[in-house]
A and B are shown apart, each in its own frame.
Chain A
């Protein structure tokens, strides 16, 4: 560059390559090329090739879409079985970010469960398969359809369809058309964990709305029932504090494992799972006028008889048919049939081919030329004695339609990506019998298709998506003209012709089998959060503390303290559970409330390929055989001598001298009022004046507060996942969870009272008026807002963690690492209104401040105060029992103010003078006069 000037003048212009005479790059050319290379690198980062659509900037606004304003779509998803929850999906700029219950549908009334709340993370799960695969290699839908047509032709249409139970008319219609096209096709179905227990062709649909005395026979109504949301709501309503003692519902639970239903019961009788039939028989005998020997059971029978048609007896899905028949007999004796106990044919379409055993047998006979597995994971969740994988291997053409390449996907020739429920058109039955429409809220991320679409395409039909739904339902009587309105509402009212036929008459129940003689039985149950394994990959649900056990990331061999001692086992030991040659190792969890002589294993974990859940927990399916689906007597426990550690988010459940979760009997409250809730000393009310050194701040409107009714809370965890979804709360994984670093802003504390009954207490941030966290923060990163919120300023936080140390409620959570999921797709599901926290900063419940700000944003020409109920927190919306009330404490008419003034209202750790904004309403027990409250031992 130091050329003499005269040479520059005579020199030819720089070559297009930008090199000077010496072949060196000039500075300018170098910079130009650098910039070009940088731009090219940016291009290379984009998906290969031009996108197929023309891309338009938002200069031309898509209809309805306003950046920053969410849109809501009604849809429906069957989360744990065939019966769907009507839902509303919130989308931001075309991305679903949140799911809530359909507020206008009687099945949900806006509430939802943990599974529905977790759907968004499921949609964006990085473990989802991204395309059609053949034998592990990438392929395409057209290749599959070509190969399938050839296989169907070659096999003369002898194809087996294996599908989980469905209530979708669209799918049933597609199957019908498919079988019409290929008459040799057979439809097989299975469900590892049934949803609707059926006896004599009728399923019980219990209704607590008018019940006064309810006896559950090993039936977890509040978790393992398609009507769980309605049951929680009705239970809360029937136990409301204002009800007279003679009118309030009394719940009696017989159960073989501590469940949330048992925790809500006024009397809980522990029974081994195989002892329940005999108890059911005793109940029927008693209701028929006979004598009942056991005092606890006798009191239950007397209470039921007194309730008459307001009585109800239900039985759990894992109990044999005879128990269901006995329960039906009991309800008939009570006169409750058609009132509290409604019987209807099962909602799911029956698969005419039978179950997996029939399929395996048909494959063995060489009758099957092709198998299409339409969802589910039959290789993983099959009975251990049924070699589904081996049978599939003998079929020349197998395909598996699923969200991820799981155990079944690996066993099939073809893997087909299933459209996620939030990406798909469909329909289903809600638990109240209405038909609900599922509409996609996003284009399938990975080109997935639904089972109905695959079958329709294989039938040679070109219809897809919404056409299939309209065709199936239109044929069933929906006026085609009103489709847009139907889809917008999400519900099809059942036309007259669709009312289910009355169920068959109840046959006389047979004799109940005697309890097994074995000293130890193995009982299976679905995992409370991974369910039958369908959520065994889901980090939110795996890290969701199981109700009562508080375990995350795994399952355990649950033993009663006595049984553990008898087998020489201690909490945390690794034990080998064996049935003959079948053997799994699990960590021992010693849990009071588990019947003696029983080891309980939860299904759905120990996945061999499950993304985040692979290798987590013990695979109970490995011990489950066709003849022992729910209980096995030939089980042995052998200590391995090794130690494991169940990962618990709460290790101590004793209530202590001052119970944090308060309870009193209705009688005591009637006699002593507030004092009944305070066994330790004089009672206190939340807003009693307290001495303080700080300036008294008057409550100006708005002063946000929350009241949580422990009498309504069933401990279902819906609020926890709702909070996680709303506030972008990260999961931390099993190693970090074991170190006590879970991030949930809202936790459900669980205590075991001296009488053996469990109490739940959701604990969000208390938003203390005299917040101990605020005074110790050295940088002022946590501040008191004018509306009473205790705000976190994330970007001012340096992470001394002093605030957490000084928080008596320990509701603050710290980002010890960067817990963000590195997969970019997960970020699509985050709430754009909530800051994503980085490592090294503290975070906590904000009372959903983004909702408060959105709800109280002053619009031009509008300065009216925020109406009560206009701002709802995510946990409040999700709660099926309406246990959470939120609002302005300065408004004397607000629901939260009235709730706070209730005689049951109290503040947690009141004596510290923190003046929490979150308060609790004590729980009411309603024990029978004939018995002391609590667990009863078998006599």
Chain B
């Protein structure tokens, strides 16, 4: 890194950190947020609230396993309900992490360094929430492993033509690679935490730091491994939601049967993933006092990506309607009519307003850099994207082919309690994460700041010089 004047960005990298930090202070800043002198009451309170939600999830799942899926609002023809809509939503949210870590790593976007750890954690937890649903929604969840190819004595094998089997592979691969990627990036920071801690904490961090000593060889291998994993993870960004979209696109139901579903789903996933990253980061950076490293510039950059993916989503809506009409297929036409001015029109237009309308505000630089409006927009987009999945999954099933088999779906208490339970579970894991794991990649941040900043804070007149 080259030396430069303090008040100006020294190069492209350094402008992403404010407050004139150097390596030491930035480490202090991040590590201080992880291991505060004493546990903050606000954190404890939120942890208790989300833990209560985890209890709700636990009870919901227990009741589900006792009574089976009949406790949900599903029926014939709407055999998949908000469990599947939520599954797609969670998987979508789980996209931002890998995108930020892997794709932006390969694209050499320096700003990813401030939020990648956070986004990767979010990804892991979102995929964990998503992964619950395919098992929970089975009629006989105790036999879920029949989707796995294993040497059964009966010689029975999964039916590999089914997108649900592809799903299983796609999601488990994604979860594995995301976890590895996250952990690999975390190792140097865990070592930092080990070095700054004492007693049991140091031992626990030490175990997870895998004996990291900051050796040049460590760094070389770490960087190489990280880059390779980034290369491995990049296709997964595209593949996971593509495969999830196959669950629908392979079926011939109007509203599902569309060749544009893979890119449409991936764009939607990135859109909702970034919305969720911002929803979490905006309050978290303030609460963790990390505004110096997660700056308005970061919000701006993320919002720009949201705008881009939001426009693809808008294009998806438009082409869904256009091709429904253009196909001339009576069932498709009837669904288009239902979306535009029929049974599903209120939901469709709400989705369009929330997802496309919200994105339009992001053209404005002022909005992208104003915390409160941006936060509100991301919330609206989160809701909008959930409703979009509701529309795709349930709206299409309610419509169907024959007039006689039109259905009407109403989610039950247990549907909602399971969904809210996963939200709480997600929040619970995020809270544990910010408390025990460095929420920002310190090692990577340190690459962006000068080794030491003698003038900041102003040294005592006769004080000794700080060594980095």
Q: Which chain B positions have C-beta within 8 A of A842?
A: 139
- Chain B CB count within 10 A is highest, among A800, A804, A841, for A800
Residue B162 interfacial (CB < 8 Å): yes
A816 to B: closest C-beta gap in Å? 3
Which residues from B are CB-within-8-Å of A655? 403
Instruction: Give Cα distance in the complex from A741 to B78, angstroms.
Output: 10
- Whether the pair B162, A778 counts as a contact (CB closer than 8 A) is yes
Distance (whole angstroms) from the CB of B208 to the closest CB of chain A: 36
Alpha-carbon distance between A776 and B144 when the two chains are bound, in angstroms? 16
Shortest A188–chain B CB gap in Å is 47
Q: Cβ of B406: which chain A residues have Cβ within 8 Å of it?
A: 651-652
Nearest CB on B from A571, distance (A): 14
A806 nearest in chain B by CB position = B251
CB of A817 within 8 A of CB of B402, answer no
Which residues in A have their C-beta under 8 angstroms from that of B156? 779-780, 796
Q: Is B55 an interface residue (CB 8 A)?
A: no
Report how far A802 CA is from B247 CA in the complex, Å: 9
Please tell me if B80 contacts chain A, counting CB pairs below 8 Å. Answer: yes
- B401 nearest CB neighbor, chain A only: A808
Q: How close is B433's CB to chain A, nearest CB, in angstroms?
A: 32
A496→B247 CA distance, assembly (Å): 72
Q: Using an 8 Å CB-CB cutoff, how does the interface string of B69-92 with A read, 1 for contact, 0 for none?
A: 110011111111000000000000
Pairwise interchain contact A778-B159, C-beta atoms closer than 8 A: yes
- Contact across chains for A660 and B147 when beta carbons are under 8 A apart: no
* B76 in complex: contacting residue of A740, A800, A841, CB < 8 Å: A740
Q: Are B252 and A816 in contact (CB under 8 A)?
A: no
Q: Quote the shortest CB–CB distance from B204 to chain A (angstroms).
A: 40
Roughly how many angstroms separate A45 CA and B75 CA in the complex, as a whole number? 38
Q: Is B340 located at the chain interface by the 8 A CB criterion?
A: no
Taking a contact as CB atoms under 8 Å apart, the answer to whether A816 and B69 are in contact is: yes
Bound CA span A797–B159, Å = 12
CB-based contact B140/A841 at 8 Å:
yes
Q: Could you say which of A650, A799, A818, A911 contacts B404, with CB atoms under 8 Å apart?
A: A650
Contact of A779 with B159 in the complex, beta carbons under 8 Å: yes
Instruction: Mark each residue of chain A from 707 to 740: 1 if its CB lies under 8 Å from any CB of chain B, else 0.
Output: 0000000000000000000000000000010011
Most buried by B among A751, A808, A842: A808
Residues in chain A near residue B176, CB distance under 8 A: none
Q: Which residues of A contact B410 (CB under 8 A)?
A: 739
Q: How far is the CA of A135 from the CA of B185 in the complex (A)?
A: 82
B404, A776: Cβ atoms under 8 Å? no
Whether the pair A809, B146 counts as a contact (CB closer than 8 A) is: no
**Measured CA separation A780–B162 after assembly (Å):** 9
Contact B404 A749 (CB under 8 A): yes
The reply to whether the CB of A810 lies closer than 8 angstroms to some CB of chain B is yes
Q: Does A680 contact B (CB under 8 A)?
A: yes
Residues of A contacting B416 in the complex (Cβ-Cβ under 8 angstroms): none
- The residues in B between 105 and 159 inclusive whose CB is less than 8 angstroms from any CB of A are 137-141, 143-144, 146-147, 156-159
Are B401 and A816 in contact, CB atoms less than 8 angstroms apart? no
> Does A345 lie at the interface of the complex (its beta carbon under 8 Å from any beta carbon of B)?
no
B450 at the binding interface (Cβ < 8 Å): no
- Say whether B329 contacts A656, CB under 8 Å: no
**Chain A window 212-229, contacts with chain B (Cβ cutoff 8 Å), 1 for yes, 0 for no:** 000000000000000000
Contact string against A for B residues 333-361, beta-carbon threshold 8 Å, 1 for contact and 0 otherwise: 11000000000000000000000000000
Q: Is A750 an interface residue (CB 8 A)?
A: yes
Q: Does B407 contact A (CB under 8 A)?
A: yes
> For the complex, what is the distance from the CA of A496 to the CA of B393, rounded to whole Å?
70
Q: Give chain B nearest CB distance to A69 CB in angstroms.
A: 31
For A761, the closest partner residue in chain B by CB is B404
Q: Give residues 793-828 of A contacting B (CB, 8 Å).
A: 796-802, 804-806, 808-810, 812-818
Instruction: Report A678 CB to chain B, min CB distance, Å.
Output: 12
Are A802's CB and B140's CB within 8 A?
Answer: no
Give chain B's interface secondary structure class: loop
- A475 contacts partner chain B, Cβ-Cβ < 8 Å: no
Separation in Å of the B74 CB from the closest CB of chain A?
7
The 0/1 profile, CB within 8 Å of A marked 1, for residues 40-59 of chain B is: 00000000000000000000
Known A658-B330, A740-B76; contact A797-B140, beta-carbon cutoff 8 A: yes
A750 and B168 CA atoms in complex are apart in Å by 40
Q: Which of B171-208 contact A (CB under 8 A)?
A: none
- Point out the residues of chain B lying under 8 angstroms from A796, CB to CB: 146, 156
List chain B residues, Cβ under 8 A from A614: none
Are A840's CB and B138's CB within 8 A?
yes
User: How many residues of A sit at the interface, in one of the four size bands?
Assistant: 35 or more
A414 to chain B, nearest CB (A): 43
In angstroms, Cα B430 to Cα A166, docked, is: 77
Q: Shortest distance in angstroms between B141's beta carbon and chain A's nearest beta carbon?
A: 8
Judge if A772 is at the interface, Cβ distance under 8 Å. yes
State whether A840 touches B69 (Cβ < 8 A).
yes
Q: A797-B139, A801-B80 are in contact. Are A656 and B75 (CB under 8 A)?
A: no
Please tell me if A775 contacts chain B, counting CB pairs below 8 Å: yes
Q: Within the complex, what minimum Cβ distance (angstroms) separates B340 from chain A?
A: 16
Given A798-B146, A801-B74, residue A776 in contact with residue B163 (CB < 8 A): yes
Contact of B68 (CB < 8 Å), options: A750, A779, A817: A817
Contact of B230 with A by CB under 8 A:
no
Docked pose: A911 CA to B403 CA in angstroms = 16
**Do A800 and B138 have beta carbons less than 8 Å apart?**
yes
- Contact A841 B404, CB 8 Å, known A779-B158, A805-B397, A817-B68: no
Q: Mark B400-444, 1 if CB is under 8 A from A, else 0.
A: 111111111010000000000000000000000000000000000
A736 to B67, CA, bound (A): 14
CB distance from A755 to the nearest CB of B (A): 17
If A817-B67, A840-B138 touch, whether A812 touches B164 (CB-CB below 8 Å) is: no
Q: How far is the CA of A655 from the CA of B76 in the complex (A)?
A: 20
Residues in A neighbouring B141, C-beta threshold 8 A? 798
Distance, CA A809 to CA B147, complexed state (A): 26
B161 proximal to A (CB < 8 A): yes
B284 at interface, CB cutoff 8 A? no
The answer to whether A798 and B147 have CB atoms under 8 Å apart is yes
Contact B75 A654 (CB under 8 A): no
A780 contacts B158, C-beta separation under 8 Å: yes
Residue of B nearest to A813 (CB): B76
Whether, in the assembled complex, B371 has its beta carbon less than 8 Å from a beta carbon of chain A, the answer is no
Is the C-beta of B250 less than 8 angstroms from some C-beta in chain A? Answer: yes
Are A779 and B147 closer than 8 Å at their CB atoms?
yes
Is B253 within 8 A of A798, CB to CB? no
Which residue from chain B places its CB closest to the CB of A817 in the assembled complex?
A: B70
A26 at the interface (CB under 8 A from B): no
Q: Is B165 an interface residue (CB 8 A)?
A: yes
A-chain residues with CB within 8 Å of residue B78 when the two chains form the complex: 740
Report chain A residues within 8 Å CB of B147: 778-779, 798
Q: Are B401's CB and A804's CB within 8 A? A: no
Q: Is the CB of A814 within 8 A of B158?
A: no
Chain B residues contacting A813 (CB-CB under 8 Å) are 76
How far does the alpha carbon of A147 sit from the alpha carbon of B287 in the complex, in Å?
Answer: 88
- When distances are taken between beta carbons in the complex, the residues of chain B under 8 Å from A740 are 75-78, 407-408
**Cβ of A757 to closest chain B Cβ, rounded Å:** 16
Q: Are A810 and B400 in contact (CB under 8 A)?
A: yes
Which residues of B sit under 8 angstroms from A800, Cβ to Cβ? 137-139, 164
Contact B404 A750 (CB under 8 A): yes
The docked-state distance in angstroms from the alpha carbon of A749 to that of B146 is: 36
Alpha-carbon separation in the docked complex, A747 to B77 (Å) = 14
CA distance A568 to B402 in the complex (A): 32
Task: Tell whether, in the assembled complex, residue A805 and residue B75 are in contact, meaning their CB atoms are under 8 Å apart.
Answer: no
Candidates B74, B158, B165, B168; contact of A816 at CB < 8 Å: B74
* Contact in complex: A804, B79 (CB < 8 Å): yes
**Are the CB atoms of B334 and A657 closer together than 8 Å?**
yes
Q: Is the CB of A909 within 8 A of B404?
A: no
A sample of 10 more A-B contacts (CB under 8 A), given A749-B404, A776-B250, is: A651-B406, A740-B408, A780-B158, A798-B143, A799-B69, A800-B139, A804-B79, A814-B76, A818-B68, A912-B252
- 17 A-B residue pairs with Cβ-Cβ distance under 8 Å, sorted by A, are A651-B408, A750-B404, A772-B251, A775-B162, A776-B161, A778-B168, A796-B146, A797-B140, A799-B138, A800-B139, A801-B139, A808-B402, A809-B405, A817-B68, A840-B69, A840-B140, A842-B139
User: Ordered nearest first, which 5 A-B pairs have the shortest CB separation?
Assistant: A799-B139, A840-B139, A816-B70, A740-B75, A801-B79
